[in-house]
Amino acid sequence: MYVIDETNGKVCIFHFTVYGGVVHMEEADTMKPTFIDFFAGSGLVTEALSRYFVPLWANDICAKKAEVYQANHGSGHFHLKSITDVHGASVPLADVSWASFPCQDLSLAGNMGGIEGHRSGLVWQWLRVLDEQPVRSPILVAENVAGLVSAKSGMYYRRLHMALVERGYQVGAIMLDACNWVPHSRPRIFVIAAPKQMDVSALTSSQPCWCHTKAIIAAANGLQSWVWWKLPAPAVRTQSLRDLIDWDVPCNEKARADKLLRLIPANHARKAGSYLPGEPRVFPAYRRTRNGRQVLELRFDEIAGCLRTPEGGSSRQFLVIRSANGDSGVRLLTARETARLMGAPDSYKLPGSYNDAYKAMGDAVAVPVAGFLGRHLLLPLAKLAGREKISSRRVA
Ligand SMILES: C[S@@+](CC[C@H](N)C(=O)[O-])C[C@H]1O[C@@H](n2cnc3c(N)ncnc32)[C@H](O)[C@@H]1O
């Protein structure tokens, strides 16, 4: 059946189901607000937001990632093309416009070309497309690494912030670390913008909260049209790395494993050996060069280090696995394990080679993080904008 929603005049379709002797009414998709996904990569943002929003359009330049995106979300709305070739007139109007723009120039592992660098500088192309659209999306999200707010004492952030303010938005940044949801350390900055004239007081606070880091607080100091977005604290994570890995995947053959195990620094080997036998253990490990020597450094918190693409200049992540009888083995993370670390369901298709999957996941946004943001901030903001019939261009 359908009804007219008094708040925004839209026609709404409801599904009725009966279970447990009770009639349940659920809004069908037509009630969902919409979003577009720039730099969509392997589609994890779309995966997360599709629960609350209808995806209308997405693009990425990488054919391998496009394959992953399309295998999971269909090819209907995906455009395999550079953002430099996207014209605003051809992009549909959506409630939310999301851009996970390339991080290499803002990441410590990269060359720090900054927000004008030829890769991270593609964020300006997103703004160009927004400017070309007949009506800009009311809610904007730009996602990147911590360097966006911390590098150059916040100068890169302030440039982006003011560019959004000039377009009629009020803006704030938050930091969400995937380790709150999955055993994977992945701090990321989310810059969220809403039209200046929109009353967002229910979703903001007068001061920083748990998702504002020192670097964000410093970058925000004195900034015009800054807002402190307010989010509920996430529930305590219950899953650890040992719950996520496939224990029956074979480790490297012994000669290769021994070679790697010999690279573990003495203090790390002692600590790993100090755990009581009888219980299997897993230690994420990275090969690094320290004082001119190759070492294999272990983590002891059962949280994987941040997955990165090999292009980012970092090595792949190993797992040092100690079985119940005390034997140690080494292997790389499997493609499926990398997807799980990003919070993707096991049904998420990963076409292509191991390297393709590793690269696709290493670049992505963790699903539960984008989902949390979607549910607790973007959806309420989109509903507010719908209610107030706001799009930024109409009123800026
Ligand atoms: C941080 S990743 C985004 C990941 C994506 N949101 C996800 O969850 O999988 C940045 C993406 O920008 C894409 N990219 C780089 N240059 C581009 C360009 N000129 N036009 C469009 N996409 C580009 C990369 O292929 C990469 O997938």
Q: Is the pLDDT confidence value at 10 over 60?
A: no
pLDDT at 310: 64
Render pLDDT for 302-321 as a digit per residue (tens, 0 to 9): 999 999 876 645 568 899 99
pLDDT at 110: 52
Q: Which atom of ligand 1 is nearest to the CA of 43?
A: 9
Render pLDDT for 70-79 as a digit per residue (tens, 0 to 9): 999 999 999 9
Q: Mean pLDDT over residues 363-371, rounded?
A: 97
Q: Which atom of ligand 1 is nearest to the CA of 143?
A: 1
Q: What angle do CA 333, 339, 343 make, to 5 degrees?
A: 125
In the structure, what pLDDT confidence band is assigned to residue 19 with cuts at 50, 70 and 90? Answer: very low
Q: Is the pLDDT confidence value at 391 over 80?
A: no
> Is the separation of the CB atoms in 395 and 168 below 8 Å?
yes
Q: Which atom of ligand 1 is nearest to the CA of 102?
A: 10
User: Closest Cα to atom 6, ligand 1: which residue?
Assistant: 40
Tell me the torsion sign for CA atoms 229, 58, 349, 335: negative
Q: Mean pLDDT over residues 259-286, rounded?
A: 86
Q: Which atom of ligand 1 is nearest to the CA of 365?
A: 8
- In the block, tokens 């979607």 appear at 374
> How many angstroms separate the CA atoms of 173 and 190, rounded?
6
DSSP calls for 247-276? TTSPPPPHHHHHHHHTTS-HHHHHHHHTSP
pLDDT at 27: 54
Q: How far is the CA of 59 from the centre of ligand 1 (A)?
A: 8
Specify the range with the lowest mean pLDDT, choosing from 55-59, 103-107, 222-226.
Answer: 103-107
pLDDT at 4: 39
> How many angstroms separate the CA atoms of 309 and 311, rounded?
5
Which of these, 8, 237, 301, lies nearest to 138 by C-alpha position? 8
**1: Cβ–Cβ under 8 A, 6 or more apart, which residues?**
13, 14, 16
User: Closest Cα to atom 10, ligand 1: which residue?
Assistant: 102
In the structure, what pLDDT confidence band is assigned to residue 325 with cuts at 50, 70 and 90? Answer: confident
> Is the separation of the CB atoms in 57 and 137 below 8 Å?
no
pLDDT at 122: 97
Render pLDDT for 210-269 as a digit per residue (tens, 0 to 9): 999 999 999 999 999 999 999 999 999 999 999 999 999 999 988 888 898 899 988 998
pLDDT at 111: 62
In the structure, what pLDDT confidence band is assigned to residue 119 with cuts at 50, 70 and 90? Answer: very high
pLDDT at 273: 78
Q: Which atom of ligand 1 is nearest to the CA of 84?
A: 19
Among 64, 363, 369, 373, name the best residue to mutate to test ligand 1's pocket (greatest count of ligand atoms within 8 A of Cβ).
363
Among 35, 38, 60, 107, name the best residue to mutate to test ligand 1's pocket (greatest count of ligand atoms within 8 A of Cβ).
60
Render pLDDT for 161-215 as a digit per residue (tens, 0 to 9): 999 999 999 999 999 999 999 999 999 999 999 999 999 999 999 999 999 999 9
Q: Which atom of ligand 1 is nearest to the CA of 370?
A: 8
> How many angstroms separate the CA atoms of 302 and 183, rounded?
7
330 beta partners: 320
User: Closest Cα to atom 13, ligand 1: which residue?
Assistant: 39
Q: Which residue has the higher pLDDT, 256 or 29?
A: 256
Pocket of ligand 1 (CB under 6 A): 39-45, 59-62, 65, 82-84, 100, 102-103, 122, 363-365
| E strand or H helix that includes residue 15 | strand 11-19
Q: Is the pLDDT confidence value at 3 over 70?
A: no
pLDDT at 113: 86
> How many angstroms separate the CA atoms of 14 and 8, rounded?
16
pLDDT at 297: 93
User: Closest Cα to atom 26, ligand 1: which residue?
Assistant: 41
Q: Mean pLDDT over residues 127-136, rounded?
A: 96
pLDDT at 275: 73
Among 37, 38, 39, name the best residue to mutate to test ligand 1's pocket (greatest count of ligand atoms within 8 A of Cβ).
39
Q: Is the pLDDT confidence value at 346 over 60?
A: yes
> Is the separation of the CB atoms in 157 and 226 below 8 Å?
no
Which alpha helices (H) appear in the chain, and where do they start and end?
A: 44-49, 63-73, 123-132, 147-150, 155-166, 214-220, 241-244, 254-261, 266-273, 335-341, 354-362, 367-373, 379-387, 392-395
DSSP calls for 316-343? PEEEEEE-TTS-EEEEEPPHHHHHHHTT
Task: Please state, for a pLDDT cut of 90, what percent of the chain lies above it.
Answer: 71
Q: How far is the CA of 211 from the centre of ligand 1 (A)?
A: 25
Q: Which atom of ligand 1 is nearest to the CA of 45?
A: 8
Q: How far is the CA of 39 from the centre of ligand 1 (A)?
A: 4
Q: How far is the CA of 36 from the centre of ligand 1 (A)?
A: 14
- What the chain holds in terms of domains, given with CATH numbers, is 32-238+366-395 (3.40.50.150), 247-333 (no CATH)
Q: Mean pLDDT over residues 100-104, rounded?
A: 93
Query: What pTM value is reported for the model?
Result: 0.90
